[in-house]
Structure 1
Amino acid sequence: MTPAPPSRTLCADGIRLTTISTGAAVAGLRLEDSEGGWTDVVLGHADRRSYRHGGYLGAVIGRVGNRIDRGRFELDGATHQVSVDERGNALHGGVEGFDLREWELVDAAADHVTWGLVSPAGDQGFPGEVRVQVRYRLSPGEVRLDYSATTTAPTPLNLTHHAYFNLDGESSGTIREHRLQVEADTFIPTRPDQIPTGEVREVAGTAFDLRQPTPLAAPLSAADEQVRIAGGIDHHFVVRGEGMRRHATLVGGSGRRLEVWSDRPGVQVYTGDHFDGTITGISGSAYHREAGVALETQGPPDAINQPGFPSPVLRPGETFRSWTVWRVGTSDPI
């Protein structure tokens, strides 16, 4: 029998984080309640060997998170074709993205663990060798993700993290009654194949106006063309401001609260439309539609083909660095 991937668990007051080598994925984020019980608030596979078969659950995504139109782009006068895996487009790094790789344990201590990966030149069609690391650092009420990467040739890079959150517990059902607030005045609409149109649209007057805490049931039930295209929300929100700032706040019916902070340009909100009962979760229950919501801090999709979007290109001699923080606690129950 194939062994389960190696794992590391970090513990702080009221919080336990487990990461594994496959995809450098978060395979568990457990929070303690006032009665001393523990609840896992991220979706994950019951059998950790299943992380090797895809689904993105809890994984680090690369080289390029989100979508590239037809998997094709031009960089410094050369045209590159990368592997395509979704309706003729490249999603989350292509057929064999970083989520499916076995990452190397770089270092570990009581409060942190670092995983590293070497992506060779030509990997999935991308130019240059890329060396990437992600460090998870745990403290009471907070998980910090530190990313770094270098390259030997110019290449697009858009690292992100694909944890799905259900703050009422990973087996508790839908996230429709979770309240979500996103610090964004604009979002990026897409074509029917979910490639950006190039427009950056005001959220005002749309189902994507999440500037105030909003039960997810409201946008998910809206008669909106963009909701219909995605089967829910699967869109990039352009977070106002620059530098380290709050991107989103999520509150479950239990009163558990998550704040997502990052220095990235925006956050892709995805409400898990694809879950169809075929994934068995951590507690042994099947995941169905809207079982969790992903809040993926990142640059905008297809930015390598969209001159109006921030450039995702990393060049030799540069070091990509980025930070995302998950702050967890409690609020008043909904």
Structure 2
Amino acid sequence: MEIVKEKIYGQWKEFTLINDKNMSVSVLNYGGIITRILVPDRNGKVENMVLSYKNYQDYKANPHYFGAIIGRVAGRIQDAAFEIDGKTYSLEANDGDHHLHGGQAGLHRVIWSVATFETKETIGLTLTHESKEAEGYPGNVKIIVTYTLTNDNELFLNYTATSDKTTPIALTNHTYFNLSGDLKHTIHDHFLTIKSSNFAELNEELIPTGNLKAVGGSSFDFRNGQLIREGLNEKSKHNRIASGYDHYFIFDDVKDEEQVVMAEPNNGRILTVTTNQPGMVMYTANGLEDGLELRENTSRRHLGVCFETQGSPASLHHKGFPTILLKPGDLYQHQTVFAFRVKEKAVNP
């Protein structure tokens, strides 16, 4: 196992974690951005599994949040405001009338302090940042995000945070996955299973209405697996609003099992997602425009899918959603594991 550090420019550094199974993960200290995940297919061919810019300077703006740590609150906060104990807090409205992914000064634009570590079976990075009381959020928050790569081709993302005032916090990672390898195809024919019986209904501005909808009988029912294209081609109200999926799925109460399994039938690659978060936003790159220069290809709609495991900011305005409030003295502590394996024979969706 090996850790390679490379200076990109200025204060930016890229750290590459390499295990003994030909898997590697590259991470920038800027935004904690995952720039590459290289894994082999059933024939041993090693290719990149994530969307990333060809020119690293494009990460300065990064309007699509490629690979970044997102916070303080991932997702949209309705009307860019929330209330705690009768006091209203106003945030930057950077998505129409709403607040998205922590605003322009979110964690995706922070230069994180990084320390490397290595054990007998793992290598990793510990990223730390102190988010000061600013941009409308109450409290000073200390955040630690740890990336750990194992020899079982597992990437552990551990998030911890503490605050000196009650504040909302919902951290996630915004990596876009594509198992075709080096972005050869869109995600339409990825076969996906999600252990979720309910999702959050959205209005025309992609804000949760407060209603939870049962997935049964709809293109949101991934409990027994289906191709992602079933929803991308669906003209139902819920898919039409987002031009695909951009919805919060609440996980069923399944212990010690992966909540998400995604397979690429042609090359045998399989990605599993296991987390102690209550749910996730699945985003299918609906707003990704054509023609951006990416590392292996040019961008187009539905070229990747994000599994944004997190609590829901809808809880700030509606009952029935997992809370995201962190109180002084409490510890925010969550984990998500992205694990890669291969199926030796063809996957039959």
Quick check: TM above 0.5? Answer: yes
CA change 1:278–1:173 in 2 (3 A) is same
Output aligned runs, 1:176-325, within 5 Å: 176-241=188-253, 245-253=257-265, 254-283=267-296, 285-325=297-337
| Conserved? CA contact 1:65–1:92, under 8 Å | yes
1:283-305 deviation per Cα after TM superposition (whole angstroms, max 9, x unaligned): 2x211000000111111232211
Following superposition, the deviation at residue 242 of structure 1 comes to 6.0
Q: Deviations over 1:142-173 (max 9, x none)?
A: 11111111111110000011110000124213
Aligned residues: 332
Among 51, 57, 77, the residue aligned to 2:59: 51
Deviation at 1:243, TM superposition (A): 5.8
Q: Which runs of 5+ in 1 are unaligned?
A: none
Residues 63-92 of structure 1 deviation map (CA, whole Å, 9 limit, x = unaligned): 000110011000122100011111211111
Distance (Å, rounded) in 2 between the aligned partners of 1:275 and 1:68: 21
Q: For the structure 1 residues 269 and 75, does the alpha-carbon distance in structure 2 shift closer, same or farther, using more than 3 Å as the test?
A: same
Cα pair 1:84 1:95 within 8 Å, conserved = no
What is the TM-score of this pair, normalised by structure 1?
A: 0.95
State the match for 2:89 in structure 1: 80
Distance 2:246 2:277 in 1: 17
Q: Which amino acid aligns with 1:252?
A: E
Q: Does residue 329 of structure 1 match 2:337?
A: no
Output the CA distance in 2 between the equivalents of 1:256 and 1:4.
35
> Tell me, what secondary structure is at the counterpart of 2:238?
helix
Rounded to whole Å, the distance in 2 between the matches of 1:243 and 1:157 is 24
Paired residue secondary structure (2:208): coil
Q: 1:69 aligned to 2:81?
A: no
- Pair 34,228 (structure 1): closer, same or farther in 2 beyond 3 Å: closer
2:5 is aligned to: none
> Does the aligned pair in 1 maintain the 2:274–2:337 contact within 8 Å?
yes
* Alignment of 1:25 onto 2:36: no
The CA RMSD over aligned residues, in Å, is 1.7
Could you say what secondary structure the match of 2:253 adopts?
coil
> Offset at 1:106?
3.4
After superposition, give the CA deviation of every residue in 1:192-211 in whole Å (9 maximum; x if it has no partner).
10111111110001121111
Counterparts of 2:133 and 2:291 in 1: how far apart (Å)?
A: 35
How big is the shift at 1:22?
A: 1.3
Question: Residue 136 of structure 2 aligns to which amino acid in structure 1?
Answer: G
Asked if residue 159 in structure 1 is aligned to residue 171 in structure 2, the reply is: yes
Alignment-derived partner of residue 14 in structure 2: 7
Q: Which residue of 2 aligns with 1:60?
A: 69
Distance in 2 between the 1:333 and 1:224 partners? 28
Q: Is the 8 A contact 2:208 2:314 kept in 1?
A: yes
- Measured in 2, the distance between the counterparts of 1:287 and 1:328 equals 24
The structural deviation recorded for 1:5 is: 2.0
Secondary structure of the 2:12 match is coil
User: Once the 2 structures are TM-superposed, how far is the Cα of residue 100 of structure 1 from its aligned partner?
Assistant: 1.4
CA distance in 2, matches of 1:22, 1:44: 14
Q: How many percent identity over aligned positions?
A: 30
Q: Given the superposition, is the C-alpha separation of residues 245 and 90 from structure 1 closer, same or farther in structure 2, using an over 3 Å criterion?
A: farther
**Partner AA of 1:30 in structure 2:** L
2:187/2:304 contact within 8 Å kept: yes
Tell me the secondary structure at the aligned position of residue 336 of structure 2: strand
1:258 is paired with a residue of what secondary structure?
A: strand
Note the C-alpha offset of 1:35: 4.5
1:93 pairs with one of 70, 88, 102: 102
Q: Which amino acid aligns with 2:277?
A: R
Distance in 2 separating the partners of 1:238 and 1:86: 24
1:16 alignment partner AA: S
Is the 1:195–1:301 contact (alpha carbons within 8 Å) kept by the matching residues of 2?
A: no
Partners in 2 of 1:257 and 1:34 — Cα distance?
10
1:133 aligns with 2:133: no
Shift of residue 244 of structure 1?
5.1
The alignment partner of 1:189 has SS state of strand
- In the TM superposition, residue 18 of structure 1 has moved relative to its aligned partner by 0.7
Q: State whether residues 154 and 340 of structure 2, in contact with CA within 8 Å, keep that contact through their aligned partners in structure 1.
A: yes
